[in-house]
């Protein structure tokens, strides 16, 4: 069975939503609608901050987990209201508590009345080592019992597609030259095949963390054949996601190190580096042309991301300087024959180190690709690409395929102000709303093109188009100001995207 909106509304009412991590009465770090463990298996920790959309995404993930467990733990027929009540109850007390409860035992004995009467007994919480009745819990249990007993007003089940990654039960690695081919299995069935390039430990760790329910990782025997099938490339830290600068500045000095200043030599190397690091999201302080501790921290963080932590020494020579300005080159697919000017969004077979597909947003001017950016859409583990009519609200999946209309740029703090005021923690300082134009219709709404402002630690979007850095968003804005394109064609290869006029 699947939960309905009645279940979601009940949980939201009693859990409440906090976008900053807090300690619950049981002294467990909690965020959103009572989330204590993120979908990737990591625990909520002090200082975490999320968006409204992410809170709802985590809620839906956990509800699905509880729904799957309840389906396995009960052996009698129940109606939608009873199922929704049980999911709300288990969301609060946990799967283990429900499994061992008298409520479950009576239900499986077809004692529906006895099961309903058990809700009210779960009204206590342990505070300072002592079990105490909580008024809020007592009221919640009463509402869950009332829903369990209700014979009408059934909610419509929400048909969310299960995560591919969460279906994986074990993994197997096959060395292939300098690459590692990781095959993800559900029992004896191949779920997906991933190519990991490079040999950084953190990249392998990030890849394995995409499959939270996989219990084992095996290494294939020498000569063992790799299963056939389409391969997804898993992009590690050494492959930058931001786009390259066409005419990068020249490094005037042989080496930049902590303690230097632009006053020490001709040129503005350090200022240019600080500006670039700021636009890439690494540098948070004043642009002053002084290589101080803040600049050193930013350089080391950048180096750790693109070279690995072993090479993060804080020294900026030609290698780091070149990487700062980007080396990513896209394989540009020619647009359909047209003289039009528009934007096009397509999907690659590559995932970033967080498990989100790398998408290519292209600016096509007079029928030719003028520029392009790496972008993302949807949450990790929700990377289901669908046509407009098949895309489900609240699914946290990428925006649907089809033609979209590009609205005007909206600024939180004023034109071209990328730092300071923001709309919220996920959208950042600037956004461009887009509207679906066809074919047919979509139930998705509130889709925008904005900076993936809280990436990391929470990569991806709730379905909008996420541009990774301020640097790339500035390029996107130049496209809009160049020719004022209004059409965006989202083509996932599903056959429903119209051809540009």
Question: Do 235 and 210 form a contact (C-beta atoms < 8 A)?
Answer: no
17: number of Cβ within 10 Å = 15
24 is catalytic: yes
Q: Which of 7, 17, 24, 233 is catalytic?
A: 24
- Integer-rounded Cα Rg, in Å, for the chain is 25
392: number of Cβ within 10 Å = 17
Q: How many helices (H) and strands (E) does the chain have?
A: 12, 18
Tokens of 257: 């190190």
Which has the closest alpha carbon to 365: 484, 276, 492, 199?
A: 484
Burial 121-155 (b: 16+ CB within 10 A, else e): ebbebeeeeeeeeeeebeebbeebbebbebeeeeb
Q: For residues 63 and 58, what is the distance between their CA atoms, to the nearest angstrom?
A: 9
End-to-end CA distance of the chain: 45
Q: Which of 15, 62, 118, 448 is catalytic?
A: 15
Question: Do 126 and 111 form a contact (C-beta atoms < 8 A)?
Answer: no
Which has the closest alpha carbon to 474: 309, 188, 157, 243?
A: 243
User: What are the catalytic residues?
Assistant: 15, 24
């Amino acid at each position: 069975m699947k939960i309905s909106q009645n279940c979601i509304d009940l949980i939201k009412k009693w859990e409440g939503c906090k976008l900053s991590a807090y300690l619950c009465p049981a002294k467990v770090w909690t965020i959103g609608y009572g989330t204590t463990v993120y979908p990737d298996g990591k625990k909520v920790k002090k200082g975490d901050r999320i968006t409204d959309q992410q809170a709802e995404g985590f809620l839906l993930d956990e509800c699905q987990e509880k729904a799957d467990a309840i389906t396995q733990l009960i052996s009698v027929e129940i109606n939608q209201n009873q199922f929704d009540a049980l999911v709300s109850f288990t969301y609060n007390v946990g799967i283990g508590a429900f499994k061992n409860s008298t409520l479950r035992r009576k239900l499986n004995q077809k004692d529906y009345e006895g099961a309903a009467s058990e809700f009210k007994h779960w009204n206590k919480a342990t505070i300072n080592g002592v079990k105490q009745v909580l008024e809020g819990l007592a009221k919640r249990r009463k509402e869950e019992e009332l829903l369990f007993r209700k014979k009408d007003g059934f909610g419509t089940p929400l048909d969310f597609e299960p995560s591919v990654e969460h279906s994986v039960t074990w993994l197997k690695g096959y060395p292939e030259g300098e690459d590692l081919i990781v095959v993800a299995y559900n029992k004896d069935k191949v779920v997906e095949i991933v190519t990991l390039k490079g040999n950084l430990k953190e990249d392998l760790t990030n890849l394995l963390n995409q499959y939270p329910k996989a219990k084992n990782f095996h290494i294939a025997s020498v000569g063992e054949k790799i299963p056939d099938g389409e391969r997804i490339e898993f992009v590690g830290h050494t492959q930058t996601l931001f786009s390259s600068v066409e005419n990068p500045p020249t490094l005037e000095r042989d080496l930049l190190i902590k303690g230097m200043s632009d006053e020490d030599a001709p040129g503005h190397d350090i200022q240019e580096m600080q500006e670039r690091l700021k636009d890439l999201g690494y540098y948070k302080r004043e642009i002053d042309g002084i290589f101080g501790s803040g600049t050193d921290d930013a350089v080391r963080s950048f180096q750790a991301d693109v070279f690995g932590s072993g090479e993060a020494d804080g020294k900026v020579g030609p290698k780091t300087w070149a990487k700062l300005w980007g080396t990513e080159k896209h394989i540009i697919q020619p647009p359909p024959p047209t003289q039009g000017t528009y934007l096009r969004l397509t999907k690659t077979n590559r995932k970033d180190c967080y498990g989100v597909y790398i998408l290519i947003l292209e600016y096509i001017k007079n029928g030719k690709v003028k520029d392009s950016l790496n972008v993302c859409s949807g949450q990790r583990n929700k990377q289901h690409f669908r046509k407009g009519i098949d895309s489900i609200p609240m699914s946290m999946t990428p925006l649907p395929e089809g033609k979209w209309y590009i609205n005007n740029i909206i600024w939180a703090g004023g034109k071209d102000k990328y730092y300071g005021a923001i709309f919220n923690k996920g959208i950042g300082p600037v956004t461009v709303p887009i509207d679906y134009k066809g074919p047919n219709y979509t139930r998705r709404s509130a889709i925008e093109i904005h900076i993936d402002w809280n990436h990391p630690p929470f990569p991806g979007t709730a379905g909008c188009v996420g541009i990774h850095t301020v640097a790339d968003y500035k390029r996107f804005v130049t496209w809009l100001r160049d020719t004022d394109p209004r059409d965006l064609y989202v083509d996932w290869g599903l056959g429903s995207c119209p051809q540009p006029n």
